[in-house]
Amino acid sequence: MKYLSVLLFAAPLLAQVTLPGGSIPTPVVMQQTFTTGMVGFGYNESARLNIFNLNPVAAITSPGSTPPANCNVALQFYDIKGTLVSQSMVPNFAPGQSASFDFPYSSLTTENLVHANIRGVVVINPTPTSVAVSSAPVGNCSVFTTLEVFNMETGSTTALTSDTRPVGVQGLVGFLSAPQPIR
């Protein structure tokens, strides 16, 4: 209990960090990657990767203040061999928004199978690539992901997962500041 009270007392102080010389540190924006497991789909089906930005929506932004930065999100599909088969960018993904990206079975070109496996990957704040990235200031965001497979004739969902796993090393990143002169 005493650690909780220390944390509650220290949290407001941590939010007001200043560096020697009065400079304000710049938060480091972190790239995060999450993957779903493999799901199977076949003829006349489509895989859909859905995302929702869990960051809280700012109540009312006062005049002259800067609204919180949004994030950029890449939505990707990989085949069973780990080959990127399709991707889309969601630039300037604001808190409370959702987006989706469909990949129909008919778009598979790697193999001519009756049934194929695919997985969805979500990359938060990807590095600039051939997919356009927003030029707006970028912030970190928390994204809820689902991957569904649905029948394109009936619209019925045949498979759904919201289970994702982080890919690569991830963790808390501190603040980036300008180098300080040695005294």
Q: What is the pLDDT of residue 40?
A: 94
pLDDT along the chain (183 residues), means of 10: 42 45 60 95 95 84 66 95 95 93 89 84 81 63 95 96 86 46 53
Q: Are 141 and 53 in contact (CB under 8 A)?
A: yes
1 domain-assigned = no
180 domain-assigned = no
3-state SS assignment for residue 13: helix
8 domain-assigned = no
State the burial class of residue 36 (Cβ atoms within 10 Å of its Cβ: 0-12, 13-18, 19+): buried
Q: What is the pLDDT of residue 70?
A: 85
The whole-angstrom separation of Cα 137 and Cα 75 is: 20
Range of the structural domain that residue 50 is part of: 31-58+65-170
Q: What is the pLDDT of residue 59?
A: 63
Q: What is the pLDDT of residue 37?
A: 96
The pTM for the full model equals 0.72
Q: What is the pLDDT of residue 119?
A: 97
25 domain-assigned = no
Q: Which helix or strand (DSSP H or E) is residue 125 part of?
A: none
10 domain-assigned = no
Q: How many domains does the chain have?
A: 1
Distances 110 to 31, 76, 161 between C-alpha atoms, Å:
29, 16, 24
3-state SS assignment for residue 65: coil
